[in-house]
Amino acid sequence: MTLHKTRDLLVKQRTMTVNALRSHLAEFGIIVAKGIGHVSDLLQLAETDARLPSVANAAVKALAHQIDAIDQSLDDLEKEIANAHSRSEISQLLVEIPGVGKLTATVISASMPDPNVFRSGRDFAAWLGLTPRQNSSGGKPSLGAITKQGNQYIRKLLVLAGTSLLNVVGKRKGVLRDWIVGLLAKKPARLVTVAIANKLARIIWAMMKTGESFRTEMFMKA
């Protein structure tokens, strides 16, 4: 879990530093499109653009060097996480699930309690805070709201996995696609994302409890 917490912190620091660098360059009319794909352009301009006055060079280059250093640290952590994945049978089992990568699988295998602690996948999803929050009138679920209890980092990773599956649903065929399309016919995308994350949590619990390999039909049963 320490690896993941450190990685998460560095990702946040990198985002802040990139935003600061982009803002400083914009002050001198140097505009770079947002997005991770344009960071290399940002770093190159910080080092070479002649429009930067000498008084700003030191500050801008310091930020650029900081981004490079963070990137190197992130690369090192990614290698350690990959090593942890290769040593964990549970992690290797969980990456069979669509949307679940090494990052999610390793943090769950390292931090999740014994699956027998939970009576069902529903209870595990509730432990992660991936269940609808009850409002104060009538006890009905509040649309789009989840309890947000439990492990915030795992919950975030599963919601990101849900978003990823939602974005590629048109490229898939079979039970998973049909299930997601059925949800989209009844609910807005933001609710479907949480529903997918909830389903992923239930499948993870079932596979950890039984040791069973992933089957697409689990999206219908879990």
What are the pLDDT digits (tens) for 120-156? 999 999 999 897 654 444 544 443 444 555 588 999 9
- Structure confidence by residue, pLDDT tens digits, 171-199: 777 888 888 999 999 999 999 999 999 99
35 vs 38, 69, 209, CA distance in Å?
Answer: 6, 19, 40
Between 112-116, 160-164, 167-171, the lowest mean confidence (pLDDT) is in 167-171
- Cα gap 45→49, rounded to integer Å: 5
- Cα gap 149→156, rounded to integer Å: 12
Largest interatomic CA distance in the chain: 65
- Domain regions of the chain by residue span: 2-85, 89-221
**pTM strictly above 0.95:** no
φ and ψ at 47, to 5 degrees? -90, -30
Q: How high is the mean pLDDT of the chain?
A: 86
Rounded mean pLDDT of 107-126?
91
